[in-house]
Amino acid sequence: MPVITPRKTLTDYDAIIVGSGAAGGMSAYVLSKAGLKVLMLEAGRNYDPITETPMFETPKDAPLRGAPTPDKHFGYFDSTVQGGWSVPNEPYMVRRSDQPGWHEATDINHHGTKQNFMWWRPRMLGGRTNHWGRIALRMGPYDFKPKARDGLGLDWPINYEDLAPWYDQTEALIGVYGSNEGLENTPDSSPGVLQPPPKPRGYELLIKRGAGKLGIPVVPSHQAILTRAINGRAACFYATDCGRGCSIKANFQSTTVLIPPAVETGNLDVITDAMVREVTIDKTGKATGVHYVDKATGQDLHAKARVVILSASGCESARILLNSKSALFPNGLANTSGKIGRYLMDSVGTGVSGHIPAMESCPPHNEDGASAMHMYIPWWQYKEQLAGKLGFARGYHVELGGGRRMPTMSNPAPEKLTGGSYGRQFKEDARRYYGSHVSLTGRGEMIPNEKSFCEIHPEVKDKWGIPVLRFHWEWSEHEIKQAAHMQKTFVEIIEAMGGKPDAPAETDGAKAILAGGTIIHEVGTTCMGFTKNDSVVNQWCQTWDVPNLFVTDSGPFVSNADKNPTLSILALAMRSCSHLAEEMKKGSVG
């Protein structure tokens, strides 16, 4: 297996890629396979899922049974390294509902946070692909042209058809299970691309029946998890939580699927603990490389290349550009449009859980499955919405959870159900109620707006001396009403299953909706557009101002469909970098 390269750079590269997650991994994979010499710089440490993933460890093998703490915000076994809702010594600034002014983000629980924005960052090779939810949904035709359809938000300069072949190639490369259902704006993959989905779990079938009574479809989810072995990667063995990472490489992580084959080409160097502060340019305004801090020594170093590709995540790439000021670009590099940082979006998120009596005292059976969901609810009311019947413009999908999953640090027999039992009765109650809950979690589209953006804080710097971001955030009525609709619908589904929601539906959408950034689907901030006046990059993720500078992460997104963004980041990076490789061979870029 490839070894991470020594901490020194060649004198020159064809391309520097900043970041190693979905975008950085795919960019490196495509360019190094095309024979270009590539340097990847990652702000976090080296990380090896093969040796580091705690696959079969049980809660008993963790401190505090693995419960979340201020050190590990999603629990001990979550793969995230040295990060989460805050990263030590690398602050970001937010508004708080309980105090005026700007504050360093410190909340570690996204439920009930008073922050206007939550920003999840790991500091590790592979970034968030190590712990992500593996939900791999394609954006559909409407999602690329939302403004043309309902007059709101922004259109992409590309169509679904432009990206469809790259979705096929991406899915085949990373491995995605799912099915083709022919549903509206929920695209089918080309024949033979998807892997077969696992059989539904019992509670998923119950939800399907309950939702079916309301005319709501429940179909196989699309997940970046192998059900058939490919490329030296094992198929899922239906145990252990994907969020820990996967030592058998059954799910998609940049560190198991993209970076190793890229390193094997001999064309990719990787330097970890390298925090990029600035993209450098020559006097003609052409990018020449990047300045980065070697975190191990604190030294400020420079790496040179013909092309610079930012894949540091939507907001982090915007931060680097805004911090790259020069006489030619006094407002930040490639920012003559003034759009860098603008149109920051996340997904709308809210959920309902409920107790289902039919699931009590179920005969023991293994319901772990592929860790992630096998079934989900795609958005089903496109026609009603377009006709203006719903009061909000965009859709959501529903993620299903519940059943007899690994018991962790929680009480299987809540006091609410037992009436306060203890002793032998409590043990009977635990056997009865364990596994009798379901959760319905909504993920909805947010429309970009002028009030949600990030910018550089004028004074605050991180420990490396790099100015930090501050976040402005506002939901529109569309998102707030959508959240209320989720609550109402989820309670209806639980009731249609003969169950009882754990709490009544929250009819006030503003209370139901989680804070911006919470869903960790932040996109936008380096928007893609039709002209250099209204956008930062063109359809190839190439900045208008600096032709040898690219942004291949979620920054170029100008809509944020309910479909989780990772698959689209991967497909877009693959398309952009395939184009770039051709152009570099022709000598027209770099």
> Within 64-123, which residues bind other proteins (CB under 8 A)?
64-65, 67, 69-72, 76-77, 81-84, 88-89
Closest separation in Å from C-beta 202 to other proteins: 4
Among candidates 315, 326, 280, 258, which has minimal Cα distance to 40?
258
Of 102 and 238, the one with the shorter C-beta distance to other proteins is: 238
How far is 485 from 482, CA to CA, in rounded Å?
5
Q: Among 8, 114, 199, 213, which residue interacts with other proteins (rule: CB under 8 A)?
A: 199
Closest separation in Å from C-beta 134 to other proteins: 15
Give the H or E element holding residue 385. Answer: helix 382-386
How far is 77 from 63, CA to CA, in rounded Å?
10
Number of residues this chain uses to bind other proteins (CB under 8 A):
92
How far is 354 from 177, CA to CA, in rounded Å?
28
Of 239 and 510, the one with the shorter C-beta distance to other proteins is: 239
Closest separation in Å from C-beta 77 to other proteins: 6
Of 196-204, 281-289, 445-453, 526-534, which part binds other proteins (CB under 8 A)?
196-204
How far is 494 from 242, CA to CA, in rounded Å?
26
Closest separation in Å from C-beta 156 to other proteins: 35
Of 132 and 203, the one with the shorter C-beta distance to other proteins is: 203
How far is 337 from 218, CA to CA, in rounded Å?
43
Give, as ranges, the residues between 349 and 378 that touch other proteins (CB under 8 A): 358-359, 361-370, 374
Q: Among 285, 351, 407, 590, which residue interacts with other proteins (rule: CB under 8 A)?
A: 407
Give 549's strand partners. 308
Among candidates 532, 587, 533, 525, which has minimal Cα distance to 560?
525
Which residues in 19-122 belong to E strands, given as ranges? 38-41, 93-96, 99-104
Q: Among 8, 10, 12, 63, which residue interacts with other proteins (rule: CB under 8 A)?
A: 63
Of 143-151, 198-206, 528-536, 545-553, which part binds other proteins (CB under 8 A)?
198-206
Of 438 and 572, the one with the shorter C-beta distance to other proteins is: 438
Closest separation in Å from C-beta 211 to other proteins: 14
Distances (CA, A) of 334 to 177, 396, 572, 587: 39, 34, 20, 21
Could you tell me where the DSSP H helices lie in 228-325? 259-264, 314-323
State the DSSP string of 435-478.
T-EEEEEEEE-B---TT-EEEEEEEEE-TTS-EEEEEE----HH
Contact call for residue 228 and other proteins (CB under 8 A): no
Give the H or E element holding residue 293. Answer: strand 287-294
Of 166 and 434, the one with the shorter C-beta distance to other proteins is: 434
Give, as ranges, the residues between 278 and 307 that touch other proteins (CB under 8 A): 296-298
Give, as ranges, the residues between 135 and 174 that touch other proteins (CB under 8 A): none
Q: Among 116, 255, 385, 568, which residue interacts with other proteins (rule: CB under 8 A)?
A: 255
Give, as ranges, the residues between 321 and 350 that touch other proteins (CB under 8 A): none
Of 439 and 568, the one with the shorter C-beta distance to other proteins is: 439
Among candidates 154, 69, 149, 158, which has minimal Cα distance to 109?
69
Q: Among 33, 103, 128, 244, which residue interacts with other proteins (rule: CB under 8 A)?
A: 244
Give, as ranges, the residues between 410 and 469 that touch other proteins (CB under 8 A): 410-413, 415, 419-424, 426-427, 430-431, 434-435
- State in Å, rounded, how far the first CA of the chain is from the last one: 31
How far is 542 from 548, CA to CA, in rounded Å?
7
Closest separation in Å from C-beta 330 to other proteins: 34
The amino acid at 359: M
